Structure 1
Amino acid sequence: MTMSIKKIAALALATVLASPALADSLSLGKQGLRLLGEQGQVLDEVQLRAKRWDQRLLADGAPLALLHDADSGELLLLQAAAGRLRTVARWPGPEFNLEALCLYRDPQQLLQVFLLGDEGLGEQWLLAETAPQLKPLKQARAMRQLAAAPGVKACAVRDESAELLYVEPGVGLWAGATNPERAGRHLLAPAPITLEAGLAAHPAVAAPALPRAVLPVVQTEPVRGQGDAADDPAIWVHPTQPARSLVLGTDKKRGLVVYDLQGHERQFLPVGRVNNVDLRQGLRWVDWRGDLAVATHRDENSVVLFEVQRSGRVQVLAHLPTTLTDIYGLCSGRNPQGGLDIFVNDKDGHFQQLRLQRPAGQWRSETVAAVKLESQPEGCVADERGRQVFIGEEKRGIWRLGTDEQGRMSAPQMVLPVGGLLTADVEGMAIHNGPQGRRLVVSSQGSDSYVVLNADAPHAVIGDFRIGVNAAAGIDAVSETDGLDVVSANLGGAFSEGLLVVQDGHKRWPTTRQNFKLVPWKAVREALGQPRVAGAK
């Protein structure tokens, strides 16, 4: 005998919730949603005509339900408390014909819903924050569109394993990723199979524990380039008004973008396919002093040299040729003479140290050292105070190169191989020079997280973190970060302990071109369990 959709949903809910018996419970009938007491008595009822619904438990054990009103097409969020049901939010439903909905409460305790339609259409929406208390969004936000399957009549989400389950008639039981930053699905069991049989035959396996999430408070406007375009940021600190500091970001298909700390674009330089960018301030030569930024130009196999003026205006000074054949990443550092060294790499593993010169008022560079890694590097950072350079070999790990009294780099030594907290690809790197010491921050791209090490030997790992959804501010989470930068300067407001800027590999909410996210360093410090140093500003 084929089970009804209502029985399938009830079984799915029982499997997903796996919670102790509640004093109050919910039941959907022909007359509407009922709140039942411990003995099955009706405590309260909301009359409406609904066929599709799901429920979750709040932290205090009280049930929460989302229903699709069959008459108005709205989605209604109801909460049970003190023996009563109340509607806490209502939103317009999806544009497509809704056939199934299922709730999901993610590790950040955000309430989301999967909405599946009759033609394989689907969407994942963010509805509310649930901790420390329920905070519905005024407008439900579509986090991504889904290509589900035609003919789906019911679905279930296992919160603990982060799986969306549904049956495609004639094909079988699918399991899809609940993380809106990660696409993909796989077939759990071939047809013929029902959802309840699949739930019983394939018990949930708990997903790996995630590092603590910090929240971005600002996001930049998207870059101009489509697809994988945004790549690497660099932070310029205004010399007298820190709140007017800027973020330089590469659009590796079109040029260099300059943003303010509110994420607004202030300048765009259409210089072409620049990949990585870095800058140093307070540089000096006999006839010139100021702030310089550098970026790799992949069409020219050159380094583009920019001046950042005191006003924050950026201009191109020169294109510096290199001998590399497939230029990729770079970083820069102040050398002992007060000038600039540029550490630039090739996809084949060659790594060169260029010293910027200014003979007769003309910008030039000369190679002062070179090393070779076995495979592709990209991210790197120069730590002048520690007289060292860190390089990320994408598939292998983090290397350290010491520098001599002249600032020339030496042979590399591995300080942290891929494995454990560090997951390939090893990408962006930056040094936070704070009151607690120097911290090396590294993008662990394969795990959508960031690893923090002590910059001093023996380079102990301090911890890791990820960047989650800021539901209140309407900012999506971060995944697959390429480049990043960090400063410890007090930039005011949320950034009083410094600023971390990261590239976001998947821009959601709405889904559009890539951008950069701005995170207060204070949030990172707290996520790592590091106390604030007494007297630190």
Structure 2
Amino acid sequence: MKRAKHYLPTALISLACAHAVAADLALTPWAPALDAQAVSFLPTDDQRLAASERDGLLLLDAKGAELARFNGHFSSLDSRAAGQHVLVASLDNDRQQALLISLDPSTGEWGAPLYLPSRDYAVNGVCLSRDSAANLFLFLVGEEGKGEQWLVGNGSTLLAEPQRVRGLPLPPAAQFCQVDDAAQQLLVNEENVGWWAYPAHPEADATRRPVAIFDTVEKHAAGAMAVVPGGVVALDPNAGKLHLYQQQGTRWSLASSLALAELKEPENLAVRATASGLQVLLRDDDDGRFYQTALNWQAKPVRLPPVLPEVAAIRQSEPVGRQGDAADDPAIWIHPEHPAQSRVLGTNKKQGLLAYDLDGKLLQELAVGRLNNVDVRANFKLGQRTVDLAVASNRDHNSLSLFSIDRRTGQISEAGEIPTPLKAIYGICLFQPASGEIYAIANDKDGTFLQYRLSAPQGRVEGQLVRQFKVDSQPEGCVADDQRQRLFIGEEDVGVWAVDARADQPARLSSVIKVAEQLKADVEGLALYQSNGRDYLVISSQGNDSYLVLDAEPPFVSRGAFRVGLNASAGIDGASETDGLEVTAINLGGPWSQGMLVVQDGRKRMPEQTQNFKFVPWAEVTKALKLP
């Protein structure tokens, strides 16, 4: 279930109420002959970079003497280390395009530029970002609130063709941006309002939090920024001040402020953190010259969430045929003779049931209504025929929708519907003990669970209610361990429970894991990986876009969490806001020799489309978590 995120205005910082006192800042001229619009410190050495509308991109020594030049007319500037090289981002004013170019600082040699496609808006600024998987991104800040994130490289290598990841709604008067890679946080100015922080991760939602908001806009202007450990240095050209903002959890406070009495029109800003404080370069737009200073400012370290290992999807399904929050829950049907011909089923809760091959190609589409969750079991007696069975929760009718699967061809057909007394049917899973009968366990948003024995002796499906129990709040995902006759159920804001799956046994709930540090609400999809005694419970931890792996037997030891990240080489985005998931340990051939994990992706990107399902080799999960 998707939940809207709301951020209260109590985080706003009023500059007038700040406790820091603005003293004058002593500045000395730097590189007086330099004609440039932007400078930055080299990320790996005591050298500088400059972007000049007259002289091009420049590599400078610590005193501002030119060491190397790439001819052209440029503005805006950012860089990231890439092995022995530096990747430089700028704006080519002649072509009106953003570009990336590699620089070897030791030799002064520039590589071939990589240009982003021309945009349909004027780009004001650029900034680079690198995630924990070494993917390199370029953010564009444009006019009228237009912004974009592009994948431009991985490790030290630039892509042959940049790929647009997502659009970003930014402030209408934004010109500057910076990214804190460690915190995966994008900082953007809004000239007459203040500064904002956005999540920079490519799978993040486009939410924002205020860093500082002006109380009187006539006296202030939000200008350039520079990220420092634990905070950000920001330039207020109208007030003629430099501010240090300290991050404190999700909020920010003004830690210090200095007046720039010597500068008439302070504009560009470059900062580098050192052991003793900060090195600062500022440009005065009035005389076009640069000035330098050293500050003893140091922000307090910020506690960041742990960096989770990432695995990549190597296939993805075609996007579903409905907009918004549509795709929900997958299931995997195993072909009994040719596993490579197996299929991934998926629900579209605005349409019906979908079936894909293992490459993600859509094979079937059954428009039967708003199906939420789906599960599959083999060998169901439908009259005189033996078929495999898929069952889905149907929110249009508060019923169970049944589908027969031809065991030879994989063709899916509607097999009937079983009504339930539930008022808001939600999740469903199947249980098949060694005796062979199949049970459907469906739940309601009010916490009610109903267990039905399914049969079709005359070819007409029937459901006999055999058990009922309840949890205190909203559940959804569930999965049954047929071998151990154990049912796992997820209570979205509470955690995961285990209960005896047998219909003639009492439904005593036993806690498996509670929502806390590792598991973040909402608890969504649940699935079991079972292979040679290595049984794992996989849980969608929607609150932090991760997947938690536990031993499937008591004491349910946690084996760690991971994320499904971006696959740069295949052009497949990561997965986030995951509702349902499924996993199998069956060898499906090729990359699926150790099984397959399928997760619903709540934010389809690269390009931005309707939701879909991501296919991940289980071997990658084993490697990422070092599973035994």
TM over 0.5: yes
Please, which of 42, 49, 60 is the counterpart of residue 26 of structure 1?
49
Partner of 2:588: 491
Task: Say whether 1:479 aligns with 2:576.
Answer: yes
Report the TM-score, using the length of structure 1 for normalisation.
0.91
Counting only pairs closer than 5 Å after superposition, residues 188-199 of structure 1 correspond to structure 2 as: 188-191=211-214, 192=220, 193-196=222-225, 197-198=233-234
Task: Say whether 1:275 aligns with 2:365.
Answer: no
Partner of 2:59: 35
Task: Say whether 1:85 aligns with 2:110.
Answer: yes
Please, which of 352, 365, 373 is the counterpart of residue 450 of structure 2?
352
Task: Say whether 1:339 aligns with 2:441.
Answer: no
Larger deviation, residues 496-505 vs 351-360: 351-360
Structure 1 pair 436–195 and aligned structure 2 pair: CA distance change class (3 A): farther
Q: What is the alpha-carbon distance in structure 2 between the residues aligned to residue 496 and residue 408 of structure 1?
A: 37
Please, which of 95, 117, 123 is the counterpart of residue 72 of structure 1?
95
Q: What is the alpha-carbon distance in structure 2 between the residues aligned to residue 174 and residue 23 of structure 1?
A: 30
**C-alpha contact 1:26 1:63 (8 A) present in aligned 2:** no
Larger deviation, residues 194-203 vs 262-271: 194-203
Matched residue type, 1:273: R
Please, which of 155, 170, 187 is the counterpart of residue 165 of structure 1?
187
Counting only pairs closer than 5 Å after superposition, residues 32-431 of structure 1 correspond to structure 2 as: 32-36=56-60, 42-58=66-82, 60=83, 62-81=85-104, 82-83=106-107, 84-87=109-112, 89-130=114-155, 134-181=156-203, 182-191=205-214, 192=220, 193-196=222-225, 197-198=233-234, 200-203=243-246, 205=302, 207-284=304-381, 287-309=384-406, 310-404=408-502, 408=505, 410-431=507-528
**C-alpha contact 1:448 1:480 (8 A) present in aligned 2:** yes
Matched residue type, 1:128: G
Larger deviation, residues 317-326 vs 185-194: 185-194
Larger deviation, residues 179-188 vs 217-226: 179-188
Q: Equivalent residue of 1:344, what SS?
A: strand
Matched residue type, 2:319: P
Q: What is the alpha-carbon distance in structure 2 between the residues aligned to residue 91 and residue 99 of structure 1?
A: 14
Unaligned runs of 5+ in 1: 532-537
Unaligned runs of 5+ in 2: 1-23, 28-34, 215-219, 226-232, 236-242, 248-301
How far has the Cα of 1:180 moved from its partner?
3.1
Larger deviation, residues 68-77 vs 492-501: 68-77
Q: Equivalent residue of 1:92, what SS?
A: coil
How far has the Cα of 1:415 moved from its partner?
1.2
Q: What is the alpha-carbon distance in structure 2 between the residues aligned to residue 74 and residue 491 of structure 1?
A: 45
**C-alpha contact 1:143 1:180 (8 A) present in aligned 2:** yes
Matched residue type, 1:56: R
**C-alpha contact 1:368 1:408 (8 A) present in aligned 2:** no
Q: Equivalent residue of 1:367, what SS?
A: strand
Q: What is the alpha-carbon distance in structure 1 between the residues aligned to residue 580 and residue 123 of structure 2?
A: 40
Q: What is the alpha-carbon distance in structure 2 between the residues aligned to residue 493 and residue 407 of structure 1?
A: 42
**C-alpha contact 1:9 1:156 (8 A) present in aligned 2:** no
Larger deviation, residues 186-195 vs 165-174: 186-195
Structure 1 pair 506–476 and aligned structure 2 pair: CA distance change class (3 A): same
How far has the Cα of 1:25 moved from its partner?
4.5
Q: What is the alpha-carbon distance in structure 1 between the residues aligned to residue 191 and residue 428 of structure 2?
A: 52
After superposition, give the CA deviation of every residue in 1:488-510 in whole Å (9 maximum; x if it has no partner).
Answer: 01111111100000100111111
Counting matched residue pairs gives 519
**C-alpha contact 2:383 2:459 (8 A) present in aligned 1:** no
How far has the Cα of 1:408 moved from its partner?
4.8
Q: Alpha carbon RMSD of aligned pairs, Å?
A: 2.4
How far has the Cα of 1:88 moved from its partner?
5.1
How far has the Cα of 1:284 moved from its partner?
4.8
Q: What is the alpha-carbon distance in structure 2 between the residues aligned to residue 283 and residue 410 of structure 1?
A: 26
Matched residue type, 2:594: E
Q: Equivalent residue of 1:238, what SS?
A: coil
* Rg larger for: 2
Percentage of matched positions with identical amino acids = 41
**C-alpha contact 2:51 2:90 (8 A) present in aligned 1:** no
Matched residue type, 1:85: W
Q: Equivalent residue of 1:523, what SS?
A: helix
Q: What is the alpha-carbon distance in structure 2 between the residues aligned to residue 423 and residue 528 of structure 1?
A: 19
Q: What is the alpha-carbon distance in structure 1 between the residues aligned to residue 174 and residue 383 of structure 2?
A: 72
Partner of 1:535: none
How far has the Cα of 1:391 moved from its partner?
0.1
